[in-house]
Amino acid sequence: MILFLDFDGVLHPAVCTSDTELLCRRPLLESVLRECPQVEIVISSTWRESRTLPQLQALFSPDVGVRIIGITPLWQDVQDETSMGTYVRQAEIEAWLRHAGRTWEPWVALDDQPWLFRPFLPNLLRSDPVTGLTEEVCATLRQRLHGA
Ligand SMILES: [Mg+2]
């Protein structure tokens, strides 16, 4: 099971009013992930464009950070191998799965921007960009991650 993780609108409100809000939902996510040790994490957030994998891992508690195994490729590097059109983030995720040889593996994308994915995609779990992760979304996430 792989969790493709967005940051803005998930780990904090999409619009943060202060730096102290950044990553404020991280403890909530980490508590779910500790209940699901079989889950590996791949970063799909735009934060991957300006940070290395070790820098992204360091944003999390060490026991969760080591479970971040990669970042999705950038759209400009995969657009020629996909017919996904405007569903950019889903195309990046599927390219990562292809390149990793893991296309048959179950996965969940946690994201606040559903228009970056094909409509009604069952793998997408949507958070509210106004709040980021909530207990309610985490309850669904827990079920999905345990479902594999
Ligand atoms: Mg987002």
Here the CATH number for the domain that contains residue 72 is: 3.40.50
pLDDT recorded at residue 85: 77
- Give me ligand 1 centre to Cα 76, in Å: 19
- Angle subtended by helix axes 26-35 and 135-146, to nearest 10: 30
Q: Is the pLDDT of residue 79 over 90?
A: no
Phi/psi of residue 42, each to 5°? -125, 130
Give distance in angstroms: CA of 111 to centre of ligand 1.
6
What separation in Å is there between the alpha carbon of 61 and the centre of ligand 1?
Answer: 21
In the reported structure, the alpha carbon of residue 9 is separated from the centroid of ligand 1 by a whole-number distance in angstroms of 5
Q: pLDDT tens, 25-52?
A: 999 999 999 999 999 999 999 999 999 9
Kindly report, residue by residue over 91-121, the tens digit of the pLDDT. 999 999 999 999 999 999 999 999 999 999 9
Domain that holds residue 37: 2-146
* Burial annotation 90-101 (CB, 10 A radius, 16+ → b, else e): bbbbbbbbeeee
Across the beta sheet with 107-111, what order do the strands follow? 68-71, 40-43, 2-5, 107-111, 124-126
Number of domains into which the chain is organized: 1
Measured in angstroms, how far is the CA atom of residue 89 from the centroid of ligand 1? 10
pLDDT tens, position by position, 128-140: 999 999 999 999 9
Q: Report CA(10)–ligand 1 centroid distance (Å).
A: 6
User: Per-residue pLDDT averaged across 53-82, rounded?
Assistant: 94
139-143: long-range contacts at Cβ-Cβ below 8 A with a sequence spacing of 24 or more?
141/32, 141/108, 141/110, 142/32, 142/35, 142/36
